[in-house]
Structure 1
Amino acid sequence: MTSELTRPGPLRWLWYAVGGRLPAKYQDWVLHDATTRTWVWRHAARSSVLLVPLCSIWLLLPGPLGLRLPLVLLAALVGYFYSFAYIEESIEHRLAKNGHPRGTGKRLRAAAKAELDKDAMERYIARYRG
């Protein structure tokens, strides 16, 4: 991955957030987006792009507020539940759609986690065993 990532503009990011494919010049950024340590938070932001407008519309439906608020809360909970239940598959599909081989995100995140775990183990050994 290059040190200079080409970030998409707001409209392209919205397109990407709703599942669209970005041009090839954004491939490195897509890989970064799916493998950085904040990848789960980024996924939550992309999920919110789909859920917030729906919940806003449901909040504006006619009827008592005591009925609309639970409807919106339940819709948001179900939406985020399914979004996070299939987070790995969603990210891998997003990467594949943008030109990366399937499994790339999982492999890179596992390698980064192994490196962090190794550092943590070295600190543990130095502190408690050494």
Structure 2
Amino acid sequence: MNDRTTPTLVQRIRYICGGTLPPQMSDWVINDLTGPGAVRRYLLRILVPILVLLCLFLLIPGPMWMRLAMMALLYLPLIYFTIALMYVYRRARLTSHGLDHTLADSGQRDRAAAEREAYERRHGRA
């Protein structure tokens, strides 16, 4: 019986490519998608590997500014849409692992509760 709670290298690569992990790794998945550093990990997993492919534009003959401009024309919208769809991606990943998709909102709920508590303390309601 496999009691691993963190993925192996092969499982991690498959997870990054969109695969699911076994149910005993649910805590790891939740932490990966909603824990500290989740946004940074998400952005790095999408934006860094694409740079390797975009470097193929450097092989096209012509002035360097034109090659870099072609790369930027693809990379800048990718950055925009990656950030815009982060919430949707996290909810979809949680759902694909059989977890509650509202876990993607946990950080926002915690911040709102802390703000509410600070407000009530400030105005003498606590």
Give TM-score, length-normalised by structure 2. 0.74
Q: Which sections of structure 1, spanning at least 5 residues, go unmatched?
A: 126-130
Q: 1:111 aligned to 2:105?
A: no
Moved over 3 A (4+): 118-123
Q: Which structure 2 segments of 5+ residues have no match?
A: none
Q: Distance in 1 between matches of 2:37 and 2:119?
A: 22
Look up the match of 1:71.
70
- Residues 1-130 of structure 1 mapped to structure 2, 5 A cutoff: 6-59=5-58, 61-64=59-62, 65-106=64-105, 108-118=106-116, 121=119, 125=122
Q: Separation in 1 of the partners of 2:116 and 2:61?
A: 56
Q: Is the 8 A contact 1:6 1:25 kept in 2?
A: yes
- The CA RMSD measured in Å over matched residues stands at 2.6
Letter in 1 for 2:56: I
- Aligned residues between the structures: 119
What is the one-letter code of the residue matched to 2:112? A
Per-residue deviation, 1:17: 2.0
Instruction: Report the TM-score when normalising by structure 1.
Output: 0.72
State the identity as a percent: 26
